[in-house]
Amino acid sequence: MKVLITGGAGFLGRRLARKLLQRGVLRNSTGEEEAIDRLVLFDVVKADGFTDPRVLAVTGDLADPLAISDLVDTDTASIFHLAAVVSSQAEADFDLGMRVNIEALRLLFERCRQLEHRPKVLFASSVAVYGGELPEIVRDDTALSPKSSYGVQKAIGELLLSDYSRRGFIDGRGVRLPTISVRPGKPNKAASSFASGIIREPLNNEATVCPVTADTRLWLLSPRQAIECLVWAHDLESEAFAQHPVLNLPGVSVTVGEMVDTLGRVAGKPAIDKIRWESDPVVQRIVGGWPGCWDMTRAHALGFTGDQDFEGIVRAYMADDLAPG
Amino acid sequence: MKVLITGGAGFLGRRLARKLLQRGVLRNSTGEEEAIDRLVLFDVVKADGFTDPRVLAVTGDLADPLAISDLVDTDTASIFHLAAVVSSQAEADFDLGMRVNIEALRLLFERCRQLEHRPKVLFASSVAVYGGELPEIVRDDTALSPKSSYGVQKAIGELLLSDYSRRGFIDGRGVRLPTISVRPGKPNKAASSFASGIIREPLNNEATVCPVTADTRLWLLSPRQAIECLVWAHDLESEAFAQHPVLNLPGVSVTVGEMVDTLGRVAGKPAIDKIRWESDPVVQRIVGGWPGCWDMTRAHALGFTGDQDFEGIVRAYMADDLAPG
Ligand SMILES: NC(=O)c1ccc[n+]([C@@H]2O[C@H](COP(=O)([O-])OP(=O)(O)OC[C@H]3O[C@@H](n4cnc5c(N)ncnc54)[C@H](O)[C@@H]3O)[C@@H](O)[C@H]2O)c1
Ligand SMILES: NC(=O)c1ccc[n+]([C@@H]2O[C@H](COP(=O)([O-])OP(=O)(O)OC[C@H]3O[C@@H](n4cnc5c(N)ncnc54)[C@H](O)[C@@H]3O)[C@@H](O)[C@H]2O)c1
């Protein structure tokens, strides 16, 4: 089977690719495990470093209709749609966010509709679709009220996914990802970038800035578990998403203060001293409006697991990503 | 001040135009009453029958960017965006619905953004943004879960309205209209067309079909009160919409059976005998998924009124629209 990852050179895209290559199989539309013989990694930047012959790294702009027709054909059984302009960037560049987060998604779905082969389409939505005054525990029937352009664009993506699915144009599955922490590598343009930085930089003996207050509550998922969840959501039967095409993934609820305490427990006081607290009102407003906890009943009923606690998340980062010192 | 009504030849558009001409004034962005010296009625069909010199009836396609640049300029202080492809038609013709209900709205908002004059934009959303399993009384924080393409498109319109407003590109105000009953004239392509037909046709001594069961619960507003609400929403200060850009308008909750009973009370048994019950699963599915009641706390707090009860709605129709027999 041919599998496409959009945003395949991105952080989650590359990890997912590695996971799929290692696994070798996915469940197809009839629920049977099938070998992945082609894995297309599409991105504006080249997904390099893959030597596996099953991988085809293609560069292009997903908002370009011609690029999409070349990319998706009736052999494309499954699409992981991860390409996106992330939160702070979508806030800074409205047009770019609209173009990639809405127009490109729409073109992708339209291409599937035109081909009439109803591929599985997994869409990575975000905690950012929530905002404003929220109940302490967000539930599946809590209204979306995004307060950032990124959140609005993700919410629109969810709605399009649901209608294209309901009409039988695609076999859509949306998952709302918690904030991913700890991301390895460099800070990025997500408003939540610090949620990795305040752990990653100290563990790498580098200085970092925390732009939000210690009582800011976050809903987190490790990269490792995020990838497990994407694959799990893909492999579920489509009935699991028939009534509710979008699912809140499991997460761990912690305050930024608790995160720093955990860092101290794992790596000692010198690590904590690497963090400078310097508030950024824009980041505080965006991230502070996201839910710090949501109900996991449905996710658990569908068999999704998540992280045990934040210490587990930190240790997973140290095991998976921290260069041996 | 110059006021634009898109869908100005439509049912609500024409009524709103008559109301605005009669009123003569609207509150401008500084909250002061200002004379309407230009009322532009834009629609694919010509809004004829208006002789008032303030009226300019323009025909064109709102999904055409050139038409929009001609239409909206920095003098356009207020826009009532009513143009839409309604429910059954958006379900039957997916592309047309997407084009008018999303693309045209987006072009209109983009034009405003480009001009940087931040006009008031009133958007008519719908009860159809809700769907699926709903609480008995829908509240402002109940999740939208539209189960029709029309409802999805309206929900997307709401999200765009909220983000264009939050970013200061427009002064947006969304109102979710209940089903409008009793509409005069001919049946239309709304799935809820029967909600007027089962009253209107019998009162005009014509036969009609009721496609849903008697226990189907509807949330209704008379055309008269709908127009009052549109004007009221326009005239409120923008703060009223700052946190929640979309408002659930007041309505009356009745079952179809109660509607028919009311018809009998007002017009006697012969009127009821004009109704043939013949179920239409598509209409039942769409309309049956809409809320039959929603919480009116916020609407009332903001000074919106509505109809007293369904009998009042029927009598309003007889007073406003029924040709003297
Ligand atoms: N990491 C998180 O915390 C998090 C949380 C919630 C949701 N998500 C979502 O998960 C997905 C993947 O996130 P990530 O952390 O890997 O982000 P990322 O920024 O690392 O990856 C996104 C990729 O999309 C690519 N891209 C952008 N515009 C494109 C275009 N026009 N055409 C083709 N490719 C384009 C980028 O080049 C980038 O490689 C995104 O949709 C993101 O919104 C991530
Ligand atoms: N009447 C109701 O029960 C009800 C309920 C909820 C919401 N609404 C909303 O209220 C608004 C007005 O409803 P209505 O009952 O007057 O509907 P209507 O169908 O009578 O009017 C809509 C008008 O939009 C025009 N239009 C369609 N496509 C266009 C385009 N591309 N360019 C320009 N004009 C175009 C149509 O010609 C029509 O005159 C709509 O947005 C509708 O969705 C109505």
**What are the φ and ψ backbone dihedral angles of A275, each rounded to 5 degrees?**
-95, 125
Q: Are strands B252-255 and B120-126 parallel, antiparallel or unpaired?
A: unpaired
Position A321: which residue type?
Answer: D
Distances (CA, A) of B124 to B83, B92, B149: 9, 21, 16
CATH for A75: 3.40.50.720
d(CA A197, CA B211): 59
Residue A292 included in any domain? no
Residue A140 included in any domain? yes
Q: State the ligand closest to the CA atom of A68.
A: 1
Residue B216 included in any domain? no
What would the two tokens of residue B52 be? 């008032």
Q: For chain B, what is the domain count? A: 1
Q: Closest ligand 1 atom to the C-alpha of A61?
A: 32
Of residues A142, A156, A166, nearest to B156 (C-beta): A156
Residue B200 included in any domain? no
Residue B26 included in any domain? yes
Residue A290 included in any domain? no
Is A107 in CB contact (< 8 Å) with chain B? no
Best mutation site among A6, A42, A43 for ligand 1, i.e. most ligand atoms within 8 A of its Cβ?
A43
Domain that holds residue B44: 2-177+222-248
Is B137 in CB contact (< 8 Å) with chain A? no
> Which residues does chain B have with pLDDT short of 50?
none
Residue B298 included in any domain? no
How many contacts (CB atoms, under 8 Å) link A and B?
55
Q: Would you call B166 and A155 a contact, using CB atoms and an 8 Å cutoff?
A: no
Residue at token pair 């640049």: B69
Catalytic residue among A130, A150, A164, A317: A150
Q: Would you call A160 and B162 a contact, using CB atoms and an 8 Å cutoff?
A: no
Which residues of B are less than 8 Å from A144 in CB distance?
143-144
Which residues of B are less than 8 Å from A99 in CB distance?
none
Q: Is A38 exposed, middle or buried (0-12, 13-18, 19+ CB in 10 A)?
A: middle
Residue B186 included in any domain? no
How many Cα atoms sit within 13 Å of A5 on the Cβ side?
A: 28
Catalytic residue among B130, B150, B164, B317: B150
Best mutation site among B177, B229, B249 for ligand 2, i.e. most ligand atoms within 8 A of its Cβ?
B177
d(CA B242, CA A90): 21
Q: Would you call B155 and A160 a contact, using CB atoms and an 8 Å cutoff?
A: no
Active site annotation includes B150: yes
What would the two tokens of residue A200 be? 């990653």
No. of H helices and E strands in chain B?
13, 14
Would you give per-residue pLDDT tens digits along chain A (325 residues)? Answer: 999 999 999 999 999 999 999 999 999 999 999 999 999 999 999 999 999 999 999 999 999 999 999 999 999 999 999 999 998 899 999 999 999 999 999 999 999 999 999 999 999 999 999 998 899 999 988 999 999 999 999 999 999 999 999 999 999 999 999 999 999 988 888 889 999 999 999 999 999 999 999 999 999 999 999 999 999 999 999 999 999 999 999 999 999 999 999 999 999 999 999 999 999 999 999 898 899 999 999 999 999 999 999 999 999 999 999 876 5
| ipTM of model | 0.95
**Interval between CA A7 and ligand 1 midpoint (Å):** 6
